[in-house]
Structures are given as C-alpha cells and as structure tokens.
Amino acid sequence: MTTPYLKNNATTTLAQDYDPATQSTLTLAAGTGSLFGTPTPSNYIGVSAFRGRSPLSIMKITGRTGDVLTVAGALDGTSLVNLRATDRIVSTLWAGVIDDLYTQIGVGGAQGTQGNQGFQGAAGSQGNQGSTGSQGPQGYQGSQGTQGNQGFQGFQGSAGSQGNQGFQGSNGAAGSQGNQGFQGNQGFQGAAGTQGNQGFQGNQGSGVAAGSTTQIQYNNASAFGGATGLTWASGTSIFTINANSTFDASGYGFIRSFVFVIASGFPATTGQNKTNQLTVPYDGKITKAWINAKTAPTGAALICDIKKNGTSIWASSPANRIQLAIAATTGTQTSFDTTSLAAGDVLTIDVAQVGSTIAGQDVTVQLTTLLRNT
C-alpha cells in the first residue's frame, strides 16, 4: 500500500528545463531539495508545477538525491508537460489525497450531535511571498514643466588669428633741413706749385729798422739772408715777416695752428682722446697753447692735456697743462716739456677735469706751431 505525504512551505524553482520524453528527474534550485523530505515509492509526495499563477501539472515524486527529485508520473488526471527553468515547484494538497483518506477511513455512521466548538487554534505561519507580477503598462506622459533658469555664461573662447597687415601708407612730407654743422679744422697746406720763370732783378731796397715788419717780394731763398732748411717755390709771393728773426736757424718760420673742438653746444666731459686726431705735416716746433670757452667752469678749473704720439707734452710737469681757471673763459701756456715736432706726428687731446659745480661749455683748444714748408 502506498501512502502520500505533504510538506508545509515546500516551494522552490527549477534550476533547468524538464522534458518528460527524455527525463525522469527534476533539478531544483541549489539547496532547496531538503524542503521536500525523503520520498519513496511507498511514501510519495505530490508536487504541483506553476508558470506564473497558472498550474501546469501535478507530479508524483518517489525519490530524492540532493536537489534532484525522481518523477514517477502525473497525479489526479494531469499530464507530464515540458517545464522551463524558473517554473515554480510547490508541495500542495490535491483531490486524490482526500479520496485516499475517505477510502482508508470508510463510510461513517449517522452524524452525531454537534459538539461544542473547540478553542480557536493558533494562527498558522505566514506563507511564502508570491512571485512578482508582470510590469503594468506605461502611464501617460505628463505635461511639460516650466522653463528652468538660464545657465551660467560659458568660458570666453580663445583669441582669433591675427588679421592681414594693412596697406602701407603714403610717404610723409620731407622733414625740415637740420642746422648747419660746426666748421671743421683747417686743412693741410697744399703742395708747392711749379717754379715760375725768374723775375727781373728789383731795385735795391732801403734797410729795415730792428723790431719792425715789412713786405718783401722774393724770387729765391737768397732774399731771406741765407736762412737754412727752407725750400721755396718759384714765383712771386708776399709775406709779412719780422725784420729781426722771422725764421730760426732750423728754417721753422711758417705759423700753423692745430685746433681741438672739445665741447660744442654742450658741457665738457672728462676722458681720453676726446676729439679727432691731427697729423703734423712738416717738421717744426710748438710755441704756444690757447684755450677758450663760452661758459666758464666753476668750483674747479678745466684742465686739458695735449699728447704727441700718445705722450703728454707736459709729461714731467703736469701742473703746466693748459687750463681754464675757475670762472675764466680764456687761458694760455708757453711752457712745455716737449716742443719738437716731426712730419707724421699725431696730436690728440685728453680732458682731465671740467669743473666741479658747472662744467665748461663750448671749449676750444688751439696749439700754435712754427713749421718748415716742406
């Protein structure tokens, strides 16, 4: 005789599909097989299969190994059907169980009088939560909301590329003519001309008193009483000479000045080789130095040093250097350590001192010499 049994709260899902044509077992979700007890062929359990809320079949289970149930057939006139993984498997009460109970109990006698109502039993435990229903249809779209506030201003973009260069403008009007420059130093004496024809002998002149000057017309060097070192070009020239000693024994008799313009239009400044360099054209000697300024120095003297070939002509006595005393605009000097000059010597000027309160301005230094003419 076979006896069915029931298991409270025994519900689970299939772990894989089931095909009754090829399979005789159900594989449950892992760890749920023990909910269904230990069925045997003589003490079986009936389980119902559901898909969603729809019953599919009632199956007779006669064995269990772990989470695998042995299917012996269908119950209560249902049929074995194909099941899918996740279909629900539940231990349920079916009509056949009630029929078996009536059979085993037999036909009852006449109904006795109703007994007193028994006490209400304790509430049973809450059943397992049913599966989640399918999602309902999408609701209607709501009305459009009000417009939101304006967003913050975006960052400034990068600078654009530089534009093309514009067309060149027309030439401007010519500027006004600048001021005339300062006069340059006197140029060197030109070469002697070719000798002219000898002139007629003149009448004998009268004597000249010592210390006086006269004009002499000459046609050769003998007119100067045998002065040495002179070379004369032929022709007629007029010279103003001193009757006593216009030419010395070395033949130095032509006056030549070398001019240094130190500061023209602005205050003088100290330094070496402050102007252009001057070249001596012929042999000769230094006789005197002059200095002049439009604006006198104050606070201290203005001192200049003239150099021949880089060496001061006052090398041994620098106190004698040509200078403008405080508040003075002119000065002279006739005392020199070096007086001799040779053709090709280079003259330069240094400014050693310019005044301490006001510097001298528009300063000119002049060096007077006697030279040969060749």
pTM across the whole model? 0.38
Q: What is the pLDDT of residue 227?
A: 44
Query: Same domain for 270 and 236?
Result: no
3-state secondary structure of 107: coil
Counting every residue written for the chain, the total comes to: 374
**CA-wise closest residue to 302 among 321, 324, 320:** 324
Range of the domain at 22: 11-104
315-337-324 Cα angle (round to 5): 75
Task: Report pLDDT for 208.
Answer: 39
Higher pLDDT, 220 or 147: 147
Q: What pLDDT band is residue 156 in, cutting at 50, 70 and 90?
A: confident
DSSP string, 244-279: TTSS-TT---EEEEEEEEEEEEEE---BSS-S--EE
State which of 66, 84, 104 marks the end of a domain. Answer: 104
186 in any annotated domain? no
Q: Which of 104, 124, 147 is the last residue of a domain?
A: 104
Q: What is the mean pLDDT of the chain?
A: 79
SS3 content of the chain, % helix, strand, coil (to 5): 5, 30, 60
What is the mean pLDDT of the segment spanning 337-362? 95
- pLDDT tens readout for residues 107-119: 444 555 665 665 6
| 160 domain residue, yes or no | no
pLDDT higher than threshold 60 for residue 347: yes
**Residue pLDDT, tens place only, 236-263:** 333 333 333 456 667 787 899 999 999 8
Which of 25-29, 41-45, 194-198 has the lowest average pLDDT? 194-198
pLDDT at residue 228 tops 60 = no
Strands 68-74 and 25-27: antiparallel
Q: Tell which wins on pLDDT, 230 or 167.
A: 167
CB 89 within 8 Å of CB 26: yes
In a domain, 50, yes or no: yes
| Predicted local distance difference test score (pLDDT) of residue 316 | 96
Whether residue 270 lies inside any domain: the answer is: yes
Which stretches of the chain are DSSP H helices?
Answer: 95-105
pLDDT class of 3 with cuts at 50, 70, 90: confident
What is the model's pLDDT at position 130? 58
246 and 268 in a single domain? The answer is no
Highest average pLDDT, of 166-175, 193-202, 283-292, comes from: 283-292
Residues 201 and 277 in one domain: no
**Does 222 share its domain with 259?**
no
Based on the fold, state whether residues 262 and 243 are members of the same structural domain.
no
Q: What is the pLDDT of residues 290-311, one digit of tens each?
A: 999 999 999 999 999 999 999 9
